[in-house]
Every structure is written in structure tokens, then in C-alpha cells.
Amino acid sequence: MKKEQGNNPKLNQLESLSTSNENEMLTTNQGLKVNDNQNSLKDGERGPTLLEDFILREKITHFDHERIPERIVHARGSGAHGIFKLTKSLSRYTKAKFLNEVGAETPVFARFSTVAGSRGSTDLARDVRGFAIKFYTEEGNYDLVANNMPVFFIQDAIKFPDLVHAVKPEPDNEMPQAASAHNTFWDFISLMPESMHMIMWLMSDRAIPRSLRMMEGFGVHSFKFINEEGKSHFVKFHFKPRLGVHSVAWDEAQKISGADPDFHRRDLWEAIETGSFPEWDFGVQLVPEEDEHKFDFDLLDPTKIIPEEVIPVEIFGTLTLNKNPDNFFAETEQVAFHPGHLVPGIDFSNDPLLQGRLFSYTDTQLSRLGSPNFHEIPINRSVNTVHNNQRDGHMRQQIVKGKVSYEPNSIGNGCPFQAMMKDGGFTSHQEKISGTKIRARSQSFVDHYSQAKLFYNSQSAPEKRHLQNALIFELSKVTVPVIRERLVGQLAFIDMDLATTVAAKLGVKVTKLKEPNQSIPADADPTELQSEEREPQTKFSDALSMENTVKDTIKSRVIGFIMADGVDADMTTKLKVKLEKEGAQVQIIGPSVASVKAADGTLFIPRHSLTSTKSVCFDALLLCPGEKSEKELLNPENKHLVLNFINEAYKHCKAIYFGLDTDNLYASSNVGNKKHEDPAIIKESDGQSEDAFINAIAKHRVWNLEVERNS
């Protein structure tokens, strides 16, 4: 059962614009009732179709034009409505009203996305994830166009087309789809030392999240908060998931892409439909304007973070997603985000990547949505009524009364008139700017390796191993040896063991390049110039490792119950109830989707069969108790399927519970007989409890035993 969503003015607005076809008669787009939707108008039963069939022409014309251009990047997305609630006032730092009054609730629409793939690509590609939020505030729409990684590949927006062209399918053969493991991407990256910090994030497990609900969100850029007195603070935005930050294994991600390419989309949808609403804590890092230069990096550099040990993240609110879209195209596909959609109290910094985005987002919406009136699409409308002198344009919807469409005017009594600051009128932060017009980059942007080192050094041993293997996988797809060697040369500046490990698997030598200086002449060789590297303020950061994330809940985790005829209904039902009480989702897997008859005659209806799903689609497995059930699962028809479930879940370090009378399943599998105790393998016959299973699920995985499990 869904939880109450509360009063949401944006949803009320959308509801007034929505319609349902239930119990309604078919009409044309002009409201004319249609008598026959099965046959076109013809000259006799076997004669030619007549041009005058306006019903046919309208239907076919609309069909021919029902697709709009997909986004160049972030094409593959999933969205949801929700509420942002302020739990602590930020009025000391910003005059933005939605961040001032404790308890204030602001309706939002959030869209999560991959970057590189097309609309039809898999959810589980190794990629950055977009984390965009549209706040429908009383002062107008505010868009925070964020990512699940806090840095980016490049420092200047002029390089963005190059980056995207490099990572997209290669132009001669349109391959590969939604993948960075190919020549052009790594050729570009190996020549762009500023990308190396982001590469550490992209090759880490952050790039293959378990769920969209288990990702952090980062504003990436330094923005500015402006308070009522005009004082400015630099601000970095953070969204920390209540469920923790969790990932899947790379092998698992590839298999999920085959078993369920909509895995993340389905997971988000079903969590909201069942009332397990995704939640994030909203926090900020704040730096007074006068402290801008007190760091070992430049606050305007989008390839840098402020380590949380240097400036802690202060929590001020909660983001909750509580309603799925009614129509994917009308809402998720047509929603238009823009970092230039601001409210008073929030402003830009001079981050050169952010500055370029302020042009790009308007331009792309004009191309994709086909009109300067994209703001009038219901999902993009402000909860405020719009009043200005902009007129006409393709697909204009607002009907503005009156004679005037200019300002100043007297015929319309000067309306609409400018708002004073005291009335909430937006004013840009006054900042003294002077300088020489020049195409160059600040020397403070030149250090490209210190924070890459910080990230790598902060990872746990399993995370480092995964990152190494990701680099080996990706670079193994590169067919030009010099690119591999050049990239390994970049890795040598981050960690020599990392470079050596990767190089050995690629068959190249570690040749440490000269550190490139990004402020270089256009004709210079970037591998022949020197740059500086500053001593970092911190060499390790616990916040950068997923080992330190939330591991105390099984809420919304998906548990597969494998069973067959003869299962013990009482014991199975009791565990099912206990898991669901803890917030988990239990899904029954049978030999087929036909009813499973328990030993006492109770019927269980499987959601999946052993052939219609895979272990990679579940967080944990229960081999349901029952001697007869076990015997049925071990018959020749089912045995290899069941053992594959068990062995693959074990390989991916998941929790597996062997219920009573399933010792033969345990003995037939690859589980057990290891040197160290495995806290994720629970055997009821050994006296282990349901609570141990629940605790093992909450821990997510036993990554530290991964090598041993797979040996």
C-alpha cells in the first residue's frame, strides 16, 4: 500500500491538466467522436483509400511525429515526483525562501540518467549518473543539475563537445553503445591529465550503482549563496541517500544488462509504488567568500572536491520521492533542466565549465523540444503564474490578454512591472571583475593528480581491486598500444602500484610521462611540459569510500525465495513476514510460474521461474525449507538452474540462507569449505538464525572475501 503523498501544489497543477481515457469515447484531437477506428475511408470495400479521410491523416501524422530528438547526453533517464523538506534554516547564508523556513515543503521532480548511452541503452552501463532536481518554489523554478560524482572530466566547457564525441560510439561504425571501453575515449583521456581525478571515480564502483536510490548526488560546481545583507558564501551541494551508497560487481552489472536492462528504472518505480519512498539528506559545504583562496586547490575548478574532513557537510533538509509519473513521455522525457534556473539567494561562481553550461542548456532545449515555449509544458511550468512580454512562438499555450507586449508602457499601466529587491526581485551578486581578455587557464587549475591520489588512497582494498580491474577491462578494449601506454603513464602519477598492476595485464611498460601543464600553447605536445603538484590538506577521506556507508537496513532490498512443491509453508511464511516487516521485498522463484504447493497444501504463486530471472536481480537468496522441496529442486530438470543461482550469488558476495532440510543443496553447490568464516552464508541446520541473515543483507556484500570466494 502506498503511503500518503501529502499536499503537493505541483501535482495538483499537473492533475488539473491530466486526463484519463477510462469510460470515455474515442475522439479526434479536435474532440470529434470517432465511429470507426478499424477501417480507413475507401472508394468501395476493395478500392483506394481516400485523401479526405481526415481521421486517418490526423492519426498517422501524429504517429509520424510522436518522437522528439533524444538528449545528446543523459538520454536514458528515469524520473519521479517528490517533496523537499527543510529541517534547518539556511537564512544565515541565503535569502532563497525555500531554504529559510524550517518545515517548509517544496514540490520537486527528479530525473536520474546515464550520460553516454542512447534512450534504449542499458541501465547498468559503467557511467556517470545524472541527478537533476527541479524545485517548484514560490519564487520560481530552481534547477539543480547534479551528478552522482562530485567532479567532472574537464575544466572548461569548450572541451565538452570533444569529451562527448570521444565517449560516444565511434563515428565510422557507431560502436560501442553506452560504453567508454574503446579507442576514442581513452585516446582523449590519455591526453587530458585534468580528467584523471574523474577517471578514478568512473572506474570505481560508484559508476555501477545497485540502485538509483543508493547514489549520492553532488552539485559538482561551486555555486554561491547570497543572504539578505548581500554577503556571499561559496556552496557545494550534497544529497546523501538514507539507504547508503552501494554498488554491484562489474560481472553482475554485465549480466543484469542482459537479464533486465531496465533494472534501475524498474527498481525506482517499484520502490515508490510499494511505499518504500527513496530519501536523501540534503547538505551543503559552505566557504565564506573571503576564504576562497585558503585551499590547496581552486574552488572554481570542477575537477576538484572540498574534502569533508576540511569542510564538513552540514545537513539541512530531506528529499523524498513519493510519486511515479503518470506519463513517461509527458513528464520524464519532456522535463527540461537548466543550471541557469535560479531563485534569489543562489547565484553562479566563475567556474568555466558552469559558465558554458548556462548557454548550452537553453540551446539544447530549443533543439530538442522545438520551441522557446518549452517552459509551458506542464512538467516545466512554475507553480507561479508567468507574467512577461515574451510573445508567440511555436506551440504557444499561454493566452495573454491586453494590448501591450512591451515595457515601459502606459497603455497597460506599466504592467507587468519590475519587482524591487524587497519584493523578491532577482539581482545578481555584485562582484568586482577586472582582467585582460585572454584564452588561458589559471595556474591554480594545473594540479591534476593530488585529488586523484586522494580518492585512490581512500578506497578500501576491495574497492581498489575493483578499480584496477575496471581499468584493465576498459583498456583491454583499446586496440592502439600507444594509447594504453600513455594512459598507464598518467596512472603512474596517481599510484605506482596501480600503474604497475594495470600495465602488467595490458602488456605495456610503465613509462612515467612528464606532467602536462594545461595552460599550454595550442601547438605544444601535452606530454612534454611540466606542471606543479601541491601538498594536499588531507591524504585520506573516509567519505570517499563506500566501505563507510550506511549498512544497517534491509529496507527495499529484494530477497529471492527459491522453492518447489513440498516447501515448509509455516517456516517460509514466518521469515517472509519478518523480512517484509523490516522493509524488504520478497519475490518467490519457482521451477515455473505455476503455483507451488506446500507440504500442508498452501499455495505460493511465484513471480519468477528459474529460467525467467537470474540471481543478479536479487540482493540475497533463501533456499526455502522443506525436504520435498529440496528434492524437487535437485531433480535433473532443475538442479543446474538452482545451483547456478546459488553459485552466482555466492560469487557476487551476497547473503544466502539455507533453510532447514536444504543441506544437499549446500553440499552440491560451490558454497563453503573456505578458510575463513563467511558471515553471509547462513545455515539453519547449524543453528544460525534469521537475524544473522537480516544482518548479512544489511551489510550489502562481503567484498573482503571476494577473492577467496572466487578462488
Phi, psi angle pair for 282, to nearest 5°: -95, 125
Nearest one of 556, 569, 585, 554 to 659, comparing CA atoms: 569
What is the C-alpha separation between 308 and 312, in angstroms, rounded?
A: 4
| One-character DSSP codes across 595-642 | PEEPTTS-EE--SEETTT--GGG-SEEEE---HHHHHHHTSTTTHHHH
| Cell reading at 194 | 585534468
Distance CA(273)–CA(321), nearest Å, equals: 11
- Here the cell at position 163 is 569529451
**In 3D, which of 643, 689, 649 has the Cα closest to residue 666?**
643
Of the candidates 74, 81, 375, 652, the residue annotated as catalytic is 74
Annotation says 147 is catalytic: yes
Site of grid cell 500442508: 600
Tell me the three cell numbers of residue 581: 516487516
Query: Residue 352, by phi and psi: left (phi above 0), alpha (psi -120 to 50) or beta?
Result: alpha
Neighbour tally for 160: CB within 10 Å: 17
CA 516 – CA 654 distance, rounded (Å): 43
Cell output for 344: 534569489
Partners of 134 in the β-ladder: 109, 143
In what helix (H) or strand (E) does residue 320 lie, and over which residues does it extend?
strand 314-323
HSE, CB side, 13 Å, CA atoms: give it for residue 1: 2
User: Nine-digit cell at 245?
Assistant: 551508497
Nearest alpha-carbon partner for 329 in 77, 64, 671 = 77
Cα 396 to Cα 341, 373, 375, 392, distances in angstroms = 20, 6, 10, 6
Structural contact between residues 692 and 682, judged by C-beta atoms closer than 8 angstroms: yes
264 is catalytic: no
Residue 156, judged by CB atoms within 10 A of its CB (0-12, 13-18, 19+), counts as middle
Render 391-418 in DSSP notation, one character per residue. Answer: ---TT------SS--SSS-STTTTPSPP
Given the residues 8, 141, 147, 517, the one annotated as active site = 147
Using the structure block, give the residue that is written with the C-alpha cell 583499446: 478
Residue in 205, 128, 200 with CA at minimum distance from that of residue 453: 200
Give 426: exposed, middle or buried? Use CB within 10 Å, 0-12, 13-18, 19+. Answer: middle
Q: What residues are labeled active site?
A: 74, 147
